[in-house]
Chain A
Amino acid sequence: DAKTTQPPSMDCAEGRAANLPCNHSTISGNEYVYWYRQIHSQGPQYIIHGLKNNETNEMASLIITEDRKSSTLILPHATLRDTAVYYCIVRAILTGGGNKLTFGTGTQLKVEL
């Protein structure tokens, strides 16, 4: 499974953009990058995913470098409710179908007033 590296923690002021980096230098050509977040004692919440191109949805934007060795999740206007652990994951395909998400320890984002 491709390994990901994220900073353990980041702070962001409310209303400002939060840019969360992730390195995945061993990613294969057909592996997707997924982002989830987990608020304390809840199940992980899907945010966004991408393969090569930049992606945007109602929650966030995902910027993937041209060589696909790193990516950045952008929360354009962070609020206090965005305080959570953010996981960057390279999805592996399981034998027989389906996919496996290998969660590391993620980045603890703290949004402050």
Chain B
Amino acid sequence: DGGITQSPKYLFRKEGQNVTLSCEQNLNHDAMYWYRQDPGQGLRLIYYSQIVNDFQKGDIAEGYSVSREKKESFPLTVTSAQKNPTAFYLCASSDRVRDTQYFGPGTRLTVL
């Protein structure tokens, strides 16, 4: 069953703690993306990666970090430097041919 998985669905952390959100895809897509969504707002691009071991900052990268050691995986770390980390985080992937992004179910992070 092909698709994008994000875990966990809900995540709670104390202020000042780093937290890593998981994103895995078995679609054999080259490109992967992380977006953030705040209530009533659209999505904003945090980081993206076109190939393994390479990634680029999006529009709101400050306070976040990523890695791309495997084609299937693109974890996002929300660091303590992120001023307002509470949000809905969405991962997406796309292939080079169709170039259409497909999204995972999202992780809702709440920092207490």
- Chain A residues in contact with chain B, CB under 8 A? 34, 41-46, 49, 87, 94-106
B106 engages A43 (CB within 8 Å): yes
Please state if B41 and A98 are interface contacts (CB–CB under 8 Å): no
> Which of the segments B13-21, B63-71, B72-80, B97-105 contacts the partner chain?
B97-105
B-chain residues with CB within 8 Å of residue A106 when the two chains form the complex: 42
Least CB distance from B15 to A in Å reads 23
Quote the shortest CB–CB distance from B35 to chain A (angstroms). Answer: 8
How many A-B contacts if CB must be within 8 Å?
A: 59
A96 / chain B contacts, CB cutoff of 8 Å: 50, 56
Known contacts: A43-B106, A94-B48, A105-B42. The answer to whether A99 contacts B56 by CB under 8 A is no
Out of B43, B50, B99, B108, name the residue touching A44 (CB < 8 Å).
Answer: B43
Interface size counted on chain B using CB atoms at 8 A: 30
* Closest CB in chain A relative to B29 CB, distance in Å: 11
Chain B residues positioned under 8 Å from A101 (CB to CB): 43, 45, 101
Shortest distance from the beta carbon of B37 to any chain A beta carbon, whole Å? 8
Inter-chain contact B58/A99, CB cutoff 8 Å? no
A98 close to B94 (CB less than 8 A):
yes
* Complex Cα–Cα for A96 and B56 (A): 9
B109 within 8 Å of A (CB atoms): no
B106 shortest CB reach to chain A, Å: 5
Further contacts, 12 of them, CB under 8 A, given A101-B101, A102-B42, A103-B43: A41-B88, A43-B6, A43-B104, A45-B103, A97-B31, A97-B50, A98-B33, A98-B94, A99-B99, A100-B45, A103-B44, A105-B42
> Inside 8 A of A43's CB, which chain B residues have their CB?
4, 6, 90, 92, 103-106
Residue of A nearest to B37 (CB): A103
Please give, as numbers and ranges, the residues of chain A lying within 8 Å of B92 by CB-CB distance: 43
30 A-B pairs, CB-CB below 8 angstroms? A34-B100, A41-B106, A41-B108, A43-B6, A43-B92, A43-B103, A43-B104, A43-B106, A44-B90, A44-B103, A46-B100, A46-B102, A49-B100, A95-B56, A96-B50, A97-B50, A97-B96, A98-B31, A98-B50, A99-B101, A100-B45, A100-B48, A100-B58, A101-B45, A102-B42, A103-B37, A103-B43, A105-B41, A105-B42, A106-B42
